[in-house]
Amino acid sequence: MLSTLHIENIAVIDRADVPFAEGLNVLTGETGAGKSIVIDSIGALLGARVGRELLRRGESRARVTGLFTELSDTVSARLGELGIETEDGELLLERTLTADGKSTARAGGKPVTSALLRAAAPLLLNIHGQHDTGKLLSDASHLSFIDRCGACGTLAAAYREKYDALRAIDRELAALALDDAEKARRSDNLRYHIGKLEAAKLEPGEDERLEARRSELRAAEANREAASRASEALSGTDDAAGAVALLREAARALERGEGDDTAALARRLTDLSYEAEDIAERVADLSFSVDPEELDAIESRLYTFDRLKRRYGQTVREMLDYLESARAELAAIETADARIAELTAARETALREALAAADTLHARRAEAARTLSCAIEEELAYLDMPRARFSANLTAAEDKKLGPDGYDRASFLIAVNAGEDLKPLSKVASGGELSRVMLALQNVLSAGDDAQTLIFDEVDAGISGRAAGKVARKLRELSRGRQILCVTHLASLAAAGQHELFIRKTEADGRTYTRIDPLDEEGRTREIARLLAGENITDSVLAAARELLGEYREI
């Protein structure tokens, strides 16, 4: 269950620590105080997509942290399969949102993605709100409710595998379905490109090897040219003396002078001439093997590659892959008739297997639909709709046309009053009736849920009087052995709670702040009195509130 929730900078909540307990937890307070923000924060914690507008105005960062405790071994194991580790049946989740619309999340102290949080969410809690009521009005969602009731997941997955195999065959058949003229045009085009690539006689890695060899030859050519110029400068040419000769001529000129300075400089020049002569001999001995014909051949080959790159790929490997693909496509076209015959036979088998799997799934769904219909009627009778008839209507598509979910179509039908015909739920039920149908549905389906925490956001919409009391008692009953969090404006539902959190707005320095406080017995009495009579709380209203609280202590 969700033990504690820490909220920072979410909407009007600047900072709040919210404790929850096992059983029925009710959240009450004035309209707009921030009750649904608590639910939105829990949704964000479980990976719901949120926008930057959820951040408190003026803040750059928001954070929600939740501690889940008393997780069962089954839930812990399934979380482990997702890569989320628990410790002693506990899990700490954290989600941080920033003003630039980005978010980060952690589970058990380790970074995780929002997608992983969404995958883990059904194992931890289920949130039921206006979105779920919308799903009740959409026939497209009704089949999923029947599947949950009948635990059809395994059969649905087996069917989907058969259906996917059938679709794969259909896609290949569609790809082969070319008329003769198109086949001829495509074949000629493929042969042209295959011929161009085969004529090039490509070898894997050839372009890399030639480019490396070209670099070596160009470097050798540059070195040879440098050595030739250095040799001429040192040894001279027929037309000009080199550095060696000039150094010796300078040395001889100084030797004809008088004094120690000129003699010393002459010796130094002589030494330099010997050094220059030695370098000239070494340069002359350098050997650079450069074959101009080889370099020309490489340049020509690489030019061929450059022309082919424009159409077939940036490397020889990519060109060869293109060639292999073109050959395969040409072979497929040339053998298309035989392949079509082969696939047609395979499709008949795949269709039979998919239909058989769909039939098995349909049988399970039909049984589940009957079970669900009876169970919902029983729940509605308890929820002050004793004359209501409900049908989870399951039909087959025309000619059993297969789709991703089989050939079944589902719609929820209801007759609210005696003597009325069953009609689509969306065309008959009022807001209060929809709320009760949703509660009935969740009560039936939640028995098989892994999550031990259920959240109802304003399940009391459109309900009052005796029906409200029935809903309150049903939620109290549903909370046995699990945790329920419920946002409500009804006194009877608030009184049914075993724990109550009061949410109120305050103002300070021109800013709005939301406080969330657990209520003691006296606080609950006054809050239920407010729900009963508004701000005009008298002794008689307080007495009525105490009486209402007393009714649920015995449940």
**DSSP states along 233-296:** HHHB-SSSB-HHHHHHHHHHHHHTS-SHHHHHHHHHHHHHHHHHHHHHHHHHH------HHHHH
What is the side-by-side order of every strand in the sheet holding 91-98?
Answer: 13-19, 2-10, 61-68, 91-98, 103-107, 110-112
Residues 126, 454 contacting (CB under 8 angstroms): yes
pLDDT at 180: 66
Nearest to 402 by CA among 346, 357, 365, 369: 357
Rounded distance between C-alpha atoms, residue 151 and residue 235, angstroms: 97
Rounded distance between C-alpha atoms, residue 487 and residue 187, angstroms: 68
What is the largest distance, in Å, between two alpha-carbon atoms of the chain? 142
pLDDT at 158: 95
Q: How far apart are the first and last CA of the chain?
A: 22
- Cα of 546 vs its chain's centroid, Å: 49
| Residue that is written with structure tokens 């954290």 in the block | 94
Residues 57, 13 contacting (CB under 8 angstroms): no
Residue 504: left (phi > 0), alpha (psi -120 to 50), or beta?
beta
Which two tokens mark 14? 């600047």
Rounded distance between C-alpha atoms, residue 207 and residue 120, angstroms: 50
Half-sphere exposure of 388 (CA within 13 A, CB side): 29
Tens-level pLDDT at each residue, the chain (555 residues): 999 999 998 888 888 899 999 999 999 888 777 788 888 899 899 988 887 878 888 888 999 999 999 998 888 999 999 999 999 999 999 999 988 888 899 999 899 999 999 889 888 887 776 555 566 777 888 998 899 889 898 999 999 999 999 999 999 888 777 666 677 788 888 989 998 888 888 888 888 888 888 887 888 788 878 887 887 788 788 788 888 888 888 888 888 877 778 888 888 888 888 888 888 878 777 767 677 788 888 888 888 888 888 888 888 888 888 899 899 888 888 877 788 888 999 999 999 999 999 999 999 999 999 999 999 999 888 888 888 899 999 999 988 999 999 999 999 999 988 888 898 887 776 677 777 888 888 778 776 566 688 888 767 777 777 887 888 888 888 888 889 998 888 888 889 899 999 998 888 777 878 888 899 999 999 998 998 888 888 889 899 889 888 887 766
Dihedrals φ, ψ of 392, to 5°?
-85, 90
Angle 260-285/243-255 helices, nearest 10 degrees? 160
pLDDT at 311: 86
For 14, the enclosing helix (H) or strand (E) is strand 13-19
Residues 373, 390 contacting (CB under 8 angstroms): yes
Rounded distance between C-alpha atoms, residue 520 and residue 126, angstroms: 27
Rounded distance between C-alpha atoms, residue 292 and residue 299, angstroms: 11
Tally DSSP H helices, then E strands, for the chain.
19, 15
pLDDT at 391: 93
For 11, the enclosing helix (H) or strand (E) is none
Question: Could you count the other beta carbons within 10 Å of the beta carbon of residue 502?
Answer: 22
Angle 139-149/336-382 helices, nearest 10 degrees? 80
Rounded distance between C-alpha atoms, residue 226 and residue 215, angstroms: 16
Reduce the DSSP state of residue 389 to 3 states and report it. strand
Residues 132, 145 contacting (CB under 8 angstroms): no
Which two tokens mark 219? 């470097």
Long-range contacts of 329-337 (CB under 8 A, 24+ apart): 329/186, 329/190, 330/187, 330/190, 330/191, 330/194, 332/176, 333/178, 333/183, 333/186, 333/187, 333/190, 334/187, 336/176, 336/178, 336/183
Residues 264, 270 contacting (CB under 8 angstroms): no
Nearest to 117 by CA among 84, 80, 78, 76: 84
Rounded distance between C-alpha atoms, residue 468 and residue 124, angstroms: 28
Residue 360: C-alpha distances to residues 322, 350, 354, 379, 519 (Å)? 45, 15, 10, 29, 53
Nearest to 491 by CA among 521, 457, 525: 525
Which two tokens mark 97? 């949102």
For 47, the enclosing helix (H) or strand (E) is none
